[in-house]
Amino acid sequence: MKTINIGGTGVYGSAVAVGCMRIAGMGAENLSRYIHTALEYGVNFFDHADIYGGGMSETIFGQVLAAEPGLREKLVLQSKCGIGKGMYDFSKEHILESVDGILRRLHTDHLDFLLLHRPDALMEPEEVGEAFDALEAAGKVLHFGVSNFSTRQLRLLQSGVRQKLCVNQMQFGLKCTGMIDHALSANTEFPHAADRDGEVLDYCRLEGITLQTWSPFQYGFFEGPFIDNENFPELNACLAQMAEKYGVTKSGIAAAWILRHPAKMQVIAGTTNAQRLGDIAVGADIQLSRADWYALYLSAGNQLP
């Protein structure tokens, strides 16, 4: 499995990471097996959030870490905070309290990465900066980033924060291509030509910010997987053809499609199925040709000028 120097920090995360949003019901024993299978495939990066499973995702993950001394050191752990009940909350108090809760649930003394989950309209960059300084000084968080941020929001927050924002986690995959559609359709009247994120993909490449792709196998706002979905026959036919050609599965091709982009994005896969994770991990090591990459993009229902 190839690795990515996350945000230029020198921390190398696997190109495919495990997203922990759906693990709350797995049970600690099953989850332990899953983590070890992931490691066998070279997957060392695990993405959490304080709200996943109402905290249960972190809790059972922490049970596994508590039961297996030495396991924590093999993993790169990331979590997120900033989503409160009916609001977003980037206040210093909320961030500090959230991280204490995350560390307690995960049974660890530090996070490798902390992300702010969704932009808070009331965000005050200097206040976030104070929270990050306190977390860094206490050794509770090593590196920082954000999720679902546009270019301007990244720049605004960075203006008040000493630490480099290393990560921006965005929804991206074959059925969610907003980050590239507008660039491909620049100077046209195509509906996809509208830039909704301030060309955040190019900005992250320029600044060395790692883009992590959430819900990479879903369509819509995680409405369901597009793979083997009868609503997307053309895309599935193309995936099947590529899977045959490269000797991997459709899930593997869908991951390879994201990783073929030179932005060096990281795929956050939310499967809880070890076989599927293996398929995705194997797919991550193939290099799609330029023609195949574009054929997949078009088969997903996109157009080129």
Ligand X SMILES: NC(=O)c1ccc[n+]([C@@H]2O[C@H](COP(=O)([O-])OP(=O)(O)OC[C@H]3O[C@@H](n4cnc5c(N)ncnc54)[C@H](OP(=O)(O)O)[C@@H]3O)[C@@H](O)[C@H]2O)c1
Instruction: Kindly list the residues in this chain that would bind ligand X in the complex (CB under 6 A).
Output: 19-22, 47, 117, 147-148, 169, 214-218, 222, 225, 227, 251, 268-273, 276
Element (H or E) spanning 40, and its range?
helix 28-40
Which residue's beta carbon is nearest to the bound ligand X?
Answer: 270
Backbone phi, psi, residue 112, to 5°: -75, -40
Could you tell me the smallest distance in angstroms from the CB atom of residue 224 to ligand X? 7
Our CB check for ligand X shows the closer of 22 and 33 to be: 22
CA distance 75 to 61: 12
Of 11 and 268, nearer to ligand X (C-beta) is 268
Report whether 204 contacts 166 (CB < 8 A). Answer: no
Of 34, 41, 52, 203, which is the active-site residue? Answer: 52
Distance (Å, rounded) from C-alpha 292 to C-alpha 294? 5
Q: Are 280 and 267 in contact (CB under 8 A)?
A: yes
Catalytic residue check, 52: yes
The closest of 171, 179, 192 to 301, measured between CA atoms, is 192
Provide the pairing of β-strand 266-269 with 210-214: parallel
Beta carbon nearer to ligand X, 22 or 261: 22
Closest approach of Cβ 186 to ligand X, in Å? 27
- Cβ 21 to ligand X shortest distance, Å: 3
Task: Find tokens 């994005």 and name the residue.
Answer: 265
- Element counts in the chain: helices (H) and strands (E): 11, 14
Is 32 or 147 the residue whose CB approaches ligand X more closely? 147
Q: Which amino acid is at 170?
A: M
Comparing CB distances to ligand X, the nearer of 175 and 185 is 175
**Positions marked active-site:** 52
